[in-house]
Structure 1
Amino acid sequence: MRILILALVLISNLGFSQNKRTDLNFTTKYFDAVDKWVAFPNKDIDSSFAYGFIYLDNQAGFTFNYEDRFKIENGTLKKVGNNLQTGAVKYRIDTNANPVSILTKEQIEDLNLPDTPEWLSVYKQGSENVGYLKNEGYHYNHAGACERALLPLLKAYKIKPHFEGLEFELSYAYNHLKQYKKAIPILDKAIKNNPKNFYFYRELGFSYVNLDQVKKAEEIYLKGISASDNDFEKSEMAINMAQAFFKLKNRTKFDEWAKLTKKYAKKDSNYMQYIEYFEKNWDKN
């Protein structure tokens, strides 16, 4: 009886080990898999999986270096074998890309892959430079991964705070993460250094309006609209103030900013639809 139980335990453990070796968990966002070997989910009609290496091209953005395809056979990963040379096919990753499965050490060994591709070092050159760090933060921000953007942006800010585009990216990340109080001193210094950059006013106004400091936000947005030559950006600043006064049920101020929104927004834009909604629902709670 004991022998039978022991045999069952061994079989169970063996089965568990094999399953774990071939587990694929497609739950990781591509921007959380940078510098990792990954597999993408397959289509229902295909039993093989595309695999390769995700890295961040400092100029072009998140990139998937396609290696080949594999199938799961007898508890291991087996290359399908398309005879493609390493690094021959690269895909820029769309922001809407499906989640990936990061390959485990055992899976990497099954596919006879190095821990890190030799060619990766080319894309790491100058990685401590301000421009490189700013671009890295930009790509994370663009992907919506603003928390990851903070590390390179803050590192760059300590080196050269007024580097072109850096203050905007850093304040944008803070605002996206709802850390408005951290964005304000960054933007105050940015405006003092470059008072003509209307993007700084746009972000600063956004910080204040979300802190319910409406009077201060209005002051900043008026300066931003005056400095801007971009109607879309003007309409964005205007709609933010219109919405703030809609929430406060201040009709006089709302009408002021609704008028500005209508002046700068395109007729078929979402901002015009928001104004229409606010006007129709003014008396509702």
Structure 2
Amino acid sequence: MKKNILLLFLFSTIQFCFSQSSIDKSAFNVKYYDAKDKWVIFPKKATDSIHPFGFIYLDLQAGFTFNYEGSVRIDNNGKFKLYNKSNEGYTKVRLEPYKTASVFIIPDKIVESFELPIKPEWLTIYQPSNPESIKTLKDYGYHYNHVGACENALIFLEKAYKLNPHFDGLEFELAYAYNHLGQYEKAIPVLDKAISNNPKNYYFFRELGFAYVKQNKIPLAEKTYQKGIKMSDNDFEKSEMALNMAQGYFKLKDRKKFDQWAKITRKYAEPNSQYAQYIDMFEKEWDSPR
């Protein structure tokens, strides 16, 4: 079969968007990353009568992917009908973090009625030869983190951490997941050990400073961010660290310290960037009740 693979990075390009559905939209309640290795349908546009359908899988090189295979019509009685299935090839859609609609997982009986395998033969191409290797576990964690599914990521990252805590990229992904989930007390010891092993990685300082700010350990956060900013060669990362520190002092109502970090934020942030706008907002709200 001819494989016409087209990599699309914006759902809007093939009109997969958030919209009303011909079935109760509450049925579309599964995040796409929880539908890995499943046949699914996406919500249709309000002006359409058919739903895009296909198979979701995880490509460890490219991320979560929707293998678009055709369209499904759902009649007024809720019965699924395969409306169109191309024999010419298929389209691969890279699923964007945070921006993709939830899906409906097609029951196996309906998949079989479409004369489709529960798991396509081509799926084996994307399955790792050693799913329990530390690299594979770290890669799975990375991709789940990348789409905001940090609880899922921890399943793989914590297992990998037991094998080799200093494996390249692992400590950052694990600490990032803990921080994202508000588990700062778990992130801090991971980052302390990571910095002891590799004191030149400013990403460790970025995550550690964030954890300290969230725990209201502002003096520790300031020392950490100062080190991170000093060693970083990335203005965007510097502005993020500075903004977090400015926000910490904003909450403490320490205007002198806030002004110092606001100046640092503006030094590294792009003009009119989101980070610069946050500083503007804090300044406008300084005297308002909080």
Match of 1:6 in 2: none
- Larger fraction in helix: 1
Alpha-carbon spacing, 1:107–1:230, altered in 2? closer, same or farther (3 Å):
same
Distance 1:88 1:153 in 2: 33
Determine which structure has more spread, i.e. the larger CA radius of gyration. 1
Match of 2:274 in 1: 270
Higher mean Cα deviation, 33-42 or 203-212? 33-42
CA distances 1:68-100 after superposition (whole Å, capped 9, x unpaired):
223346874332343426x73322112312211
Q: Indicate the SS of the match to 2:116.
A: coil
Q: Give yes or no for contact 2:69–2:86 (8 Å, CA) kept in 1.
A: no
Match of 1:55 in 2: 57
Q: Give yes or no for contact 2:151–2:177 (8 Å, CA) kept in 1.
A: yes
2:161 equivalent to 1:196? no
Q: One-letter code of the match for 1:261?
A: T
Match of 1:103 in 2: 106
Q: Indicate the SS of the match to 2:85.
A: coil
Q: Indicate the SS of the match to 2:49.
A: coil
Match of 1:29 in 2: 31
Q: Indicate the SS of the match to 1:80.
A: strand
CA distances 1:12-51 after superposition (whole Å, capped 9, x unpaired):
xxxxxxxxxx988222111111111111222334333222
Distance 1:237 1:27 in 2: 35
Q: Give yes or no for contact 1:54–1:62 (8 Å, CA) kept in 2.
A: yes
Q: Which of 46, 49, 65 is 2:48 aligned to?
A: 46
Match of 1:8 in 2: none
Higher mean Cα deviation, 73-82 or 119-128? 73-82
Q: One-letter code of the match for 1:234?
A: K
**Which structure is higher in RCO with an 8 Å CA cutoff and minimum separation 6?**
2
Match of 2:127 in 1: 124
Q: Which of 179, 184, 187 is 2:188 aligned to?
A: 184
Q: One-letter code of the match for 1:156?
A: A
Q: Which runs of 4+ in 1 moved over 6 A?
A: none
Q: Give yes or no for contact 1:76–1:110 (8 Å, CA) kept in 2.
A: no
Q: Indicate the SS of the match to 1:28.
A: coil
2:250 equivalent to 1:246? yes
Distance 2:62 2:78 in 1: 37
Match of 1:223 in 2: 227
Alpha-carbon spacing, 1:50–1:263, altered in 2? closer, same or farther (3 Å):
closer
Distance 2:114 2:256 in 1: 68
Q: One-letter code of the match for 1:77?
A: F
What is the number of equivalent residue pairs in this alignment?
Answer: 263
Match of 2:137 in 1: 133
Q: Give yes or no for contact 1:67–1:84 (8 Å, CA) kept in 2.
A: no
Shift of 1:259: 2.1
Q: Give yes or no for contact 1:53–1:64 (8 Å, CA) kept in 2.
A: yes
Distance 1:70 1:237 in 2: 47
Q: Indicate the SS of the match to 1:113.
A: coil
Match of 2:216 in 1: 212
Distance 1:40 1:279 in 2: 43
Q: Give yes or no for contact 1:35–1:54 (8 Å, CA) kept in 2.
A: yes
Distance 2:28 2:215 in 1: 38
Q: TM (normalized to structure 2)?
A: 0.84
Higher mean Cα deviation, 209-218 or 232-241? 232-241
Q: Give yes or no for contact 1:39–1:49 (8 Å, CA) kept in 2.
A: yes
Q: Give yes or no for contact 1:76–1:107 (8 Å, CA) kept in 2.
A: no
CA RMSD, 1 decimal:
2.0
- Identical amino acids, percent of aligned pairs: 58
Shift of 1:244: 1.0
Distance 1:116 1:79 in 2: 18
Higher mean Cα deviation, 123-132 or 232-241? 123-132
Q: Give yes or no for contact 1:77–1:110 (8 Å, CA) kept in 2.
A: no
Q: One-letter code of the match for 1:170?
A: L
Higher mean Cα deviation, 122-131 or 26-35? 122-131
Q: TM (normalized to structure 1)?
A: 0.85
Shift of 1:219: 1.0
Distance 1:244 1:274 in 2: 13
